[in-house]
Copies of this chain bind each other. A is one copy, B any other.
Amino acid sequence: MATTLGFLGGTGIEGRGLALRFAQAGAPVIIGSRSQTRAATTAQQYNDILGKPIVRGMSNKEMLAASQIVFLTVPADQATSAIDSCLADFQPGLILVDVTVPVRLVEGRVEYLELPEGSNAEAVAARVPEHVSVVGAFKTIPAHILAQLDTPLQCDVFVCGDSQEARERVMDAARLIPALRPLDAGPLRTARTLERMTVLAIHLNRRYKKKGARYNIVGL
Using A186-B200, A186-B203 as known contacts, list a sample of 16 further A-B pairs with CB atoms less than 8 Å apart, ordered by residue number in A.
Answer: A112-B193, A155-B219, A158-B200, A184-B204, A184-B208, A185-B204, A186-B207, A193-B193, A193-B200, A194-B200, A210-B219, A210-B220, A214-B217, A215-B217, A216-B216, A216-B218
Could you tell me the distance between the alpha carbons of A31 and B216 in the complex, rounded to whole angstroms?
Answer: 33
Q: Are A204 and B190 in contact (CB under 8 A)?
A: no
Q: How far is the CB of A195 from chain B (nearest CB, A)?
A: 9
A37 touches B (CB below 8 Å): no
Q: Are B154 and A218 in contact (CB under 8 A)?
A: yes
Could you tell me the distance between the alpha carbons of A184 and B219 in the complex, rounded to whole angstroms?
Answer: 22
Chain A interface residue bracket vs B: 35 or more
- Do A200 and B190 form a contact, CB below 8 Å, given A213-B219, A216-B218, A219-B214? yes
A174 touches B (CB below 8 Å): no
A147 touches B (CB below 8 Å): no
Q: Pick the contact of A190 from B158, B203, B205 — CB < 8 Å?
A: B203
Could you tell me the distance between the alpha carbons of A219 and B154 in the complex, rounded to whole angstroms?
Answer: 9
- Residues of the B chain whose Cβ atoms lie less than 8 Å from the Cβ of A184: 204, 207-208
A103 touches B (CB below 8 Å): no
Q: Chain A, 166-205, contact with B by CB distance < 8 Å: what is the 0/1 string?
A: 0000000000000000011110001011101101110111
